[in-house]
Amino acid sequence: MTLDSPKQRIHAIVIGCSLAGLFTARVLSDHFERVTILERDPVGDHPESRRGQPQTRHLHGLLAQGFRIINDLFPDLEDALVKGGAIISDMGEAIRWYHFDGYKKQFTSGLHAVSVSRIFLEWNIRNYVARLPNVAIQSACAVRGLVTNNDRTQVLGVHAVTGNDGEKETTIGANIVVDAAGRGSSAGKWLESVGFDRPQEDEVKVGVGYATRLYRRRPNDLVGARLVMISPTPPRQKHMSFLFPVEHDRWIVSAGGWFGDHPPTEESAYLEFIRRLPVSDIYDVVSRAEPLSDVFTYKFSSSLRRRYEKLTRFPEGYLVLGDAIASFNPIYGQGMTSAAMQVQVLDSVLHQEPNLTGLWQKFFQRIAKVVDIPWQMAACEDFRYPEAVGKKPALTDLTNAYLAKVHRATHHDPVVYSQFLKVMNLMAPPSSLMHPKIVWRVLRGGSD
């Protein structure tokens, strides 16, 4: 191994070929001569859900902030998505959203989002990354550990096994290794094996489970909106369902609930679960639509955050990001956008720091600030339920009492709803909802 100079930027390794890994490789391609993505599963040249991605067949929301970042990283991606059948629309106009016992007011928000299957989105981004001249994707390659220098202070590469049966061992050198292997990342175990501490973990148990099915989409299925979201009023309601249009004239429908209140997979029982929601908008569509898939399920027991920013010792030449840092309750659709924002930080730090030594400290400190807001937002919402278990953010009950009034104000006030959408889409801080102009509109209950 000779790739140990802190100023060299010859080769970077990315562990994981999911979206966080692809975002990372795209950014690293601007800073290193070569980038190699190592993916445990075989990767095909078509849209697919791999064995290590049980969640990709389900509905995914890409927040407006994430869509903006992705369009910057991948020029022409939006055109490719639209050409393939994805739907781009204004959030305020397109969403019919029932929440806190009423429909939010539809209006022109100026915030644009894409409605597309996760599989199709990832395939398009992977194609873009694969075409970069200095990026290679090596699939069926499972990383087994880190290679370090003699005093174990610097990562010089990885140990891996290749082939579908893992029959060939190999060592791959790099100036930097970025772990984007997802929630199941082995980073903690690998750190311990080379003499470092695991990061502290924060966990909020939410017991979420949902079931998803694809249906044929017809032009007149839904009038007055492009997608529907039916969210519960906690704590007395736990059921939810979302209906989004995706490519190939299909609806993707996910129905679910918190704390074990999960939908069944048998067809009539699944439809009954949707029928029992507070309003019938989604049931009216799917009860008449042609199913195109089985009902498949996903369970998410807890949100998990690994506090790398609190570590005082860490090997040089190694970083962790994406779901390996924080995996949020998927109901809130924050994961892809959080990963994109973290990669923005990586890009900024690499531009600012010519020397890779000490990079981890700056990176993890700045990543923590990116993760703080979506983590607090998700945790506060989950702690509306008394069943939630974990570290409750300060002032959660007071915050939630005010936000309940905000939610009800969005039923009739486009100014309040506009600011709420900016916060939800990680384009404005939650504190902006406490601006006197917004507080006045929330508390007065009017819409003028």
Q: Are the C-beta atoms of 225 and 106 separated by less than 8 Å?
A: yes
Domain count, the chain: 3
Domain-terminating residue out of 254, 277, 300: 300
Q: How much is the pLDDT for 403?
A: 97
Tell me, yes or no, whether 73 lies in a domain. no
3-state secondary structure of 113: strand
- Is position 436 within any domain? yes
Residues 95 and 190 in one domain: no
Do the domain assignments include residue 412? yes
Exposure string over 86-102, b if 16+ CB within 10 A, otherwise e: bbebbbbbbbbbbbbeb
Contact 413, 446 (CB under 8 A): yes
What is the pLDDT at residue 2?
47
* Residue 218 and residue 194 share a domain: no
Strand 168-173: give its sheet, edge to edge: 141-148, 155-162, 168-173
Query: Token pair for residue 196?
Result: 């470092």
DSSP letter string, 153-174: -BEEEEEEEESTT--EEEEEE-
> H or E element: which one contains 365?
helix 359-382
Say yes or no: 283 and 341 in one domain. no
Is the same domain home to 225 and 261? yes
- Give residue 268's identity as a one-letter amino acid code: S
Q: Are residues 217 and 98 in the same domain?
A: yes
The pTM (predicted TM-score) of the whole model is: 0.95
Q: In the chain, helix, strand, coil percent, each to 5?
A: 35, 25, 40
| Domain co-membership, 281 together with 238 | yes
What span, in angstroms and rounded, lies between the C-alpha atoms of 109 and 93?
7
Answer yes or no: do 295 and 152 share one domain: no
Query: Is residue 150 situated within a structural domain?
Result: yes
pLDDT digits (tens, 9 = 90+) for 136-154: 999 999 999 999 999 999 9
Q: What is the pLDDT of residue 258?
A: 95
**Residue 265 domain flag:** yes
Q: Provide the domain limits for residue 320.
A: 11-59+123-201+303-381
Reading the block at residue 270, the tokens are 């699944």
| Residue 68 domain-assigned (yes or no) | no
Average pLDDT, rounded, for the chain: 95
Q: Cα-flanking dihedrals φ and ψ of residue 434, to 5°? A: -100, 10
Is residue 138 within 8 Å of 36, Cβ to Cβ?
yes
- Inter-helix orientation angle 19-28/118-131, to 10°: 20
Shared domain for 285 and 366, answered yes or no, is: no
Q: What is the pLDDT of residue 446?
A: 55
Q: Residue 9: CB partners within 8 Å, gap ≥ 6?
A: 31, 32, 33, 175, 356
Would you write out the chain's pLDDT as a tens digit for each of its 448 residues? 444 555 689 999 999 999 999 999 999 999 999 999 999 999 988 888 877 777 788 899 899 999 999 999 999 999 999 999 999 999 999 999 999 999 999 999 999 989 999 999 999 999 999 999 999 999 999 999 999 999 999 999 999 999 877 679 999 999 999 999 999 999 999 999 999 999 999 999 999 999 999 999 999 999 999 999 999 999 999 999 999 999 999 999 999 999 989 999 999 999 999 999 999 999 999 999 999 999 999 999 999 999 999 999 999 999 999 999 999 999 999 999 999 999 999 999 999 998 999 999 999 999 999 999 999 999 999 999 999 999 999 999 999 999 999 999 999 999 999 999 999 999 999 999 999 999 999 998 755 5
Q: Name the domain boundary from 270, 300, 330.
A: 300
| CA atoms lying within 13 Å on the CB side of residue 274 | 27
Q: What is the CATH number for 98? A: 3.30.9.90
Report yes or no on 47 lying in a domain.
yes
Burial class of residue 40, CB neighbours in 10 A (0-12, 13-18, 19+): buried
* 196 and 215 together in one domain: no
CA gap 196, 217 in Å, rounded: 53
Do residues 408 and 363 both lie within one domain?
Answer: no
Q: How confident is the model at residue 57, as a pLDDT? A: 84
CATH number at residue 47: 3.50.50.60
- Within-domain flag for 2: no
- Amino acid 19: pLDDT: 96
**234 and 270 housed in the same domain:** yes
Same domain (yes/no): 231, 214: yes
Locate 338 and state its tokens: 């959080």
Residue where a domain terminates, one of 300, 325, 340: 300
**Residue located via tokens 């005082």:** 312
